[in-house]
Chain A
Amino acid sequence: MTQPERSASAAGEARVVALVSSGRHPVSGRAGRAREDARAVEMGLALAGASLHLAHAGDAEDAALPEYLGMFHGLEGAGGPGELSLLPMAAGDDAVPLLANWLEAYGANLVLTGQRAECGEGSGLLPYLLAERLGWAVATGVAAIEHYAGDRVTVLQALPQGQRRRLEVRLPCLLCVDGVAPMPRQSAFGPSRRGRVEAVANVTAEPDTLQAAWQWQPARARPKRLKVVKSTNARDRFKAAAAKSSASGGQVLTDLSPEEAAEKLIDYLRRERILTAPSGE
């Protein structure tokens, strides 16, 4: 990945923060880094180097925290150990006011995080609630940071089908990193031991009262949708059930010279808007 450009003044005063959460391996269920959060940390390390600051609201004993701190290696210049601010709270507490107050007090300029947590509610609402509370801009689906200078950051947003869109976001802002961002570096043991976890004092978490009314249950497999033919006629229902799924009605062109065939093919692709119509050339 190419290093994002940034001006020297911005790098000096840059207060880049990555919000990290504890993750679960999708198959084994083992605790560790969250995949999107790890990509956010990687993006922050590429942008700010060792001056990246991590923040986590939750349990100090979380097994994921050393893994994030272990990513502070291979950095240009004097890479110091990673630092993580811990906002102590229980699992059922509301993280939004804690993080909002801390971000404001810390003076963060650019906040990177994953789109959705892998544990707990996992709603992906937290960046939006933080941005609304702080009055910051928020952009989602960030695949890369192109340019970071002054009061603006230029990012690439991931769209469906592998497409990208360039966005200019006003600072301070929150960026939600997508799963197509560059792969995170491995977590190393030494840096994870050297990294510092500082519990923020004078923080009182309040329980999330909204969650109390919810019922949690193990995820059920979603039922497969059946193709139900609504007809009053048994004949139609039988026909629909017994029909072979063969795509018929396709247009077949035979006995064409290659030039004619190419013309037909280009016409078809232009009609379906796969190829752009000839404009200037």
Chain B
Amino acid sequence: MSVRRLDPHAERARRNRLHPRHLEFARPAWRWTSADGVTRINPHALGAIGPNGIKRIDRSGASVEAAAGGTQASAEPSRRQVTIDTPTAYVAVVPELPEGRLSDHDRDLLGLARQLAEARGGAETGVAVVAVTFQAEVAGLEEAGADRRIDLSSQVDADSYAPEARLAALAAVETALAPAHWIFADDFPGGGDLGRRLAARLALAGDAAARAARAATRVWQFADGQTLSRAGDRQDIQRDVARVLLALPECAEPVSDTRHAATLLDLDASAGDASAAPGVIDRGRVAVDPQQIPLAQAPFILSAGRGVSDWEGYHHAAKVLGASEGASRVAVDDGYMPRARQVGATGTFVSASCYVAVGISGAVQHLQGITKCQRVVAINSDPSCDMVKRADFAIIGDGDAVLAAVCSQLGQPQPQPESGDSRHEEVRHDAA
């Protein structure tokens, strides 16, 4: 073991702050190794003065001044650009695109496609992920991991349900590119329907292809060159990667560290000669009574709590807005709403795309019930309540008055004589 040698003069000058040569030997570091070989840390020499004039110690190494100066380092790490000039093989993904946007499920599908492409050699060998969409403008395919994209919106109407026309368009892509894998989202009646149709078409196309074309449905994991798919009766099937995969949400991690080109591929093949008479014809959406939709599935919920006193007006507003009715536990316990309408941990967990809470302060159990809602609107007289903090759009005011104003602005004000009766009825109800 080597002996640690120190200059005693320098040590003395360093210890004695009054020494004329002290600054020369003063150790600027906050960490050093002592004579005994022990790591020493001087906490007074450590850290920096923060924006509030208080010394801050940041052990991550990021300097406090830099953060305070406004030049915040971006949390998003830079992505590596991946380009493939001449693809040799393809992995095709058909994203769902609800509301014309990539959903989380779609990103998972593209992540799974990237994993399959990597397993077949990746970008070095020219395996490209191609996203096949039935809509023209889809944002974010580059970050989601698509090397190429095919736009079939000219052949198929994106809005109407025409599975046979879509299948014909996909069959044209199949003959043009012959992708190694097709990946669909396994949900009805979207990708689960289309993917099964394609799988059935491929399975009966030829003998050689038919053997591998049996689709793997409800795929939820890809590992070691094999996929796990959920079967019936609490079983999993582990099998080689099928030609057609119908994958569940969270089947793979979405792409996070690369950026891809998503170049538009032009296919000459026109699928106009599909079949003269389609077997399934879309006759359009059917108007559904919002009160008949199960509360857990309802897309638009108007929910009332203790802050609502004009219940007739509330029911009228729900009818005018075309919303399903929900309620907090208090409103249900007080007898104003049936138990089946209660939202929250003790009632129904809802997944509305828009949830309007009128006079609900936002108990923890209620907020648990609305975690899956995309947009929350709060109308409340208390600006500090939890529901206002949770809401994407909050209005501070009296819920009854706002709902009445909404109804009158939509051209259907509530008929007046109802209000007196309702108040009378409430009193009777409380007494009972």
Within B277-311, which residues are at the interface with A (CB < 8 Å)? 277-286, 288, 292-294, 297-300
Q: How far is the CB of A149 from chain B (nearest CB, A)?
A: 15
Within A224-258, which residues are at the interface with B (CB < 8 Å)? 225, 229-236, 238, 240, 246-248, 250-256, 258
B181-206: CB near A (< 8 Å → 1, else 0) gives 00000011100110011011101100
A89-117: CB near B (< 8 Å → 1, else 0) gives 00000000000000000000000000111
CB-CB under 8 A from B151, the residues of chain A are none
Q: Are B214 and A210 in contact (CB under 8 A)?
A: yes
Residue of B nearest to A237 (CB): B60
CB-CB under 8 A from B392, the residues of chain A are 247, 250-251
Q: Are A252 and B58 in contact (CB under 8 A)?
A: no
CB-CB under 8 A from A210, the residues of chain B are 211, 214
Q: How far is the CB of A100 from chain B (nearest CB, A)?
A: 11
Q: Are A269 and B354 in contact (CB under 8 A)?
A: yes
Q: How many residues of A contact B (CB 8 A)?
A: 87
Contact among A137, A225, A275 for B250, CB-based, below 8 A: A225
> Is A51 part of the contact surface with B, judged by Cβ < 8 Å?
no
Bound-state CA distance A136–B379 (Å) is: 53
B373-395: CB near A (< 8 Å → 1, else 0) gives 00111010001000011111111
> Is B333 part of the contact surface with A, judged by Cβ < 8 Å?
no
Within A131-159, which residues are at the interface with B (CB < 8 Å)? 131-133, 136-141, 154, 156-159
Q: Are B282 and A116 in contact (CB under 8 A)?
A: no
Q: How far is the CB of B336 from chain A (nearest CB, A)?
A: 21
Q: Are B233 and A120 in contact (CB under 8 A)?
A: yes
B332-363: CB near A (< 8 Å → 1, else 0) gives 00000000000000000001011000000000
Q: Are A230 and B257 in contact (CB under 8 A)?
A: yes
CB-CB under 8 A from B257, the residues of chain A are 230
Q: Are A139 and B204 in contact (CB under 8 A)?
A: no
Bound-state CA distance A210–B216 (Å) is: 12
The 6 closest A-B pairs by CB, nearest first: A137-B279, A122-B232, A162-B293, A262-B405, A258-B401, A235-B60
Other than A120-B231, A216-B236, A236-B75, give 8 A-B pairs with Cβ distance below 8 A. A137-B279, A162-B297, A164-B288, A210-B214, A219-B234, A235-B61, A262-B403, A272-B354
**Which B residues fall within an 8 A CB radius of A?**
58-62, 73, 75, 77, 161, 187-189, 192-193, 196-197, 199-201, 203-204, 211, 214-218, 220-221, 228-240, 250, 253, 256-257, 277-286, 288, 292-294, 297-300, 321-322, 351, 353-354, 375-377, 379, 383, 388-398, 401-406, 408-411
